[in-house]
Amino acid sequence: MEREAARRTVAAHCSLRSRWQAADPSPAPSPAAYPLSRTELLQQPAPAAAATPHYPYPSKAELLACLPADLLQHKPAKAWGSLALSLGLSLLAYGLGTRIPLTAAAAPLWLLYGVITGTVAMGCWVLAHECGHGAFHPNRRLEATVGFTLHSLLLVPYYSWQRSHAVHHANCNQLEGGETHVPPRAESAAGREIEAMVQRLGPGLFGLQALFTHLVVGWPLYLLLGVTGGENYGAPTSHFWNGKPFRNGRRALFPASFRPRMLQSCLGLLAMLLALALAAAHFSVARVLCVYGLPYLVINGWLVTYTWLQHTDTDIPHFSADQWTWAKGALQTVDRPYGPLINLLHHGIGSTHVCHHVNSAIPHYNAWRGSALLKRQFPDLVRHDPTPIHRALWRVASRCSVVHQEPVGGGFFYEPPLTAQPIGHDQPSWN
């Protein structure tokens, strides 16, 4: 009886989703439309047809209007305080790493060092990201210097990243013009290859390889070759050179006029690589690989975890250009529960990201109030997924491979339209 009740509940949610999409040609999934687990399935009554909700998207102006202008005000003391926290803790952690012995017996200590130091140093990455949006300091030259320095220390080509990241914000969750974590369509050549891989490996092995390719090598592959970039920009693209063979798309991700900034970004990285080479010559290659390399991997893992989970889940749609609007794309962003310690160290980047996509010029210390205002104004459209991060990460890795277009509404989803699933088949829950 429980199985039958669950089947009826899911079928009712499917009907609700279809009716809602018919009312709005290309809406976001209703936050109430997806159950989380078998228990919640059984607790949810089937909605009546008369109660079908209709959540039209606001315009960009309407979204921005609910965020007051004082949220954009810079508070340099808070900005410098955040930088002092992240940079001070990072320097302390890296300094301790120079004292750990290079022995096999110290391997557990090195592992702990890499996790802690990389987690702390991710705060510097986030503040450089804030500089790239003009949200760190009112002095633009000073702000650019801070962002360039921090990102160069972390081997990020600052101005090239700033350009591609602006493209991402301008075209969030658009298949053609989007940038980073753009999924392949099921009918594309890449999509067919990935679906064949899923069939061969099964969801478990596919999820493990997705975790490795995203969290370990995904960030370097994106910088070097534009992996998971948008359809318009062709493949490959590179953050280090915008000439041949990296100009193959309908649009240039990095126009010819951008080359001086790109070269400046490369010089920052070359300076850091030279410093690491000198350190290796003075100390040892092993010492540099452990002190710098282990945290570097953890920083990259955090970065991809954030960006992957901010825009990806089994029921987050992407849109083709004819169905996409700026507001629709921005509202496919998800806030997630990283907890007070990580939110302190990483300045709330994963828990206030919807607000960040609505207005990226809001400093991190004002984003919490901005998030609350957005949720109050658009409670049915602002996404928050309370799923623990490790569970959400596994769900995305194992179940988000290619996107299929909805027969009604035009959105492209990682999973086909909801159908009755076996008991225990979990779905995200949006608050």
What is the structure's pLDDT at 237?
93
Instruction: Return averaged pLDDT per consecutive 10 residues of the chain, 431 residues in all.
Output: 37 37 36 33 33 65 94 97 98 96 97 98 98 97 98 98 96 94 93 94 95 96 92 92 88 93 97 98 97 98 97 94 94 96 98 96 97 95 96 96 85 69 37 37
**174 beta partners:** 319
Q: Summarize pLDDT for 125-174 with one digit per residue, the tens.
A: 999 999 999 999 999 999 999 999 999 999 999 999 999 999 999 999 99
Comparing C-alpha atoms, which of 293, 373, 290 is closest to residue 71? 373
Any domain includes 323:
yes
What is the structure's pLDDT at 55?
56
Comparing C-alpha atoms, which of 170, 153, 125 is closest to residue 350? 125
Any domain includes 333:
yes
Number of domains observed in the structure of the chain = 1
What is the structure's pLDDT at 364?
97
Any domain includes 176:
yes
What is the structure's pLDDT at 220?
96
* CB contact burial 360-385 (16+ within 10 A = b; e otherwise): bebbbbbbebbbebbbeebeebbbbb
335 three-state secondary structure: strand
Length of the chain: 431
Any domain includes 2:
no
Residue 338 CA to chain centroid, in angstroms?
14
Q: What range defines the domain where residue 301 resides?
A: 65-372
What is the structure's pLDDT at 30?
35
Contact criterion met (CB below 8 Å) for 387 and 429: yes
Measure the CA–CA gap between 104 and 17, rounded to whole angstroms: 56
DSSP result, 147-198: HHHHHHHTT--HHHHHHHHHHHHHTTTBTTT--SSPPPBTTSHHHHHHHHHH
Contact criterion met (CB below 8 Å) for 413 and 315: yes
What is the structure's pLDDT at 89?
98
Any domain includes 396:
no
Any domain includes 259:
yes
Is pTM beyond 0.85? Reply is: no
